[in-house]
C-alpha cells in the first residue's frame, strides 16, 4: 500500500466516524413529537371549569418551553403589551384549544413526520359535544419539539399576529 492509499482509508475512516456521531431525529433520547403533544393535551381533557387546568403561559420561560423562538417572542411581546398598555391581546383564548373555556372529551392525537425536523400534529376532540380540530406545525428543537404555528377553525396563530401587525402598520417577522 502506498501513502496515497493510506490517505484514502483515513478519510473514509474519519467520515464513517463522523456519520456515527451525527444525531438523527428519532434515534437516541429525543422525545417523539406525539409524546410532546400528549404531554400538552393531557391537561385539557375534562372541563376547564372543574378538573382540566390547561397550561398556563404566564411567563417567558413557560412560553419558550412550547413554542419556537420566533413565535415565543410574538406571544411574549403580546402579553407585555397587554399588561403594560392595557391593550387587548391578539388572541383572547387558550392557544392550545382555541377557546376560553372548554369541556374536552374523545381526544385523539395524530402526528405525521414532514421531514427530519418537522412534523404536523392533528388534535381532534369534542368540545362541549361539538367536534373540534387543532393542527400544530412542529419543529424539532434539540432533543424536543416546539410549536411553530397552531391552526384552529377560526384561523392560525401566526396569521392572527400578521393581521395585528398589518392593522398597526408594523412589520411582521416570520
Is-contact 119 138, C-beta < 8 A? Answer: yes
pLDDT in tens, 60-111: 999 999 999 999 999 998 888 777 767 777 778 899 999 999 999 999 999 9
CATH code for the structural domain at 29-168: 3.10.450.50
The rounded distance, in Å, linking the Cα atoms of 123 and 15 is: 41
Domain ranges of the chain: 29-168
pLDDT in tens, 27-58: 556 789 999 999 999 999 999 999 899 999 99
pTM: 0.75
The rounded distance, in Å, linking the Cα atoms of 44 and 105 is: 9
Average pLDDT, the chain: 82
pLDDT of residue 145: 97
Amino acid at each position: 500500500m502506498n501513502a496515497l492509499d493510506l490517505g484514502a482509508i483515513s478519510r473514509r475512516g474519519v467520515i464513517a466516524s463522523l456519520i456515527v456521531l451525527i444525531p438523527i431525529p428519532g434515534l437516541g433520547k429525543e422525545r417523539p413529537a406525539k409524546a410532546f403533544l400528549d404531554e400538552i393535551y393531557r391537561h385539557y381533557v375534562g372541563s376547564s371549569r372543574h378538573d382540566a387546568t390547561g397550561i398556563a403561559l404566564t411567563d417567558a420561560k413557560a412560553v419558550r418551553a412550547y413554542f419556537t423562538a420566533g413565535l415565543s417572542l410574538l406571544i411574549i411581546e403580546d402579553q407585555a403589551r397587554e399588561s403594560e398598555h392595557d391593550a387587548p391581546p391578539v388572541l383572547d383564548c387558550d392557544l392550545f384549544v382555541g377557546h376560553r373555556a372548554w369541556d374536552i372529551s374523545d381526544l385523539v392525537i395524530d402526528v405525521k413526520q414532514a421531514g427530519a425536523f418537522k412534523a404536523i400534529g392533528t388534535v381532534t376532540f369534542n368540545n362541549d359535544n361539538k367536534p373540534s380540530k387543532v393542527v400544530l406545525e412542529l419543529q424539532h428543537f434539540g432533543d424536543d419539539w416546539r410549536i411553530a404555528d397552531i391552526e384552529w377553525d377560526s384561523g392560525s396563530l401566526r396569521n392572527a399576529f400578521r393581521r395585528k401587525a398589518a392593522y398597526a402598520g408594523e412589520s411582521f417577522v416570520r
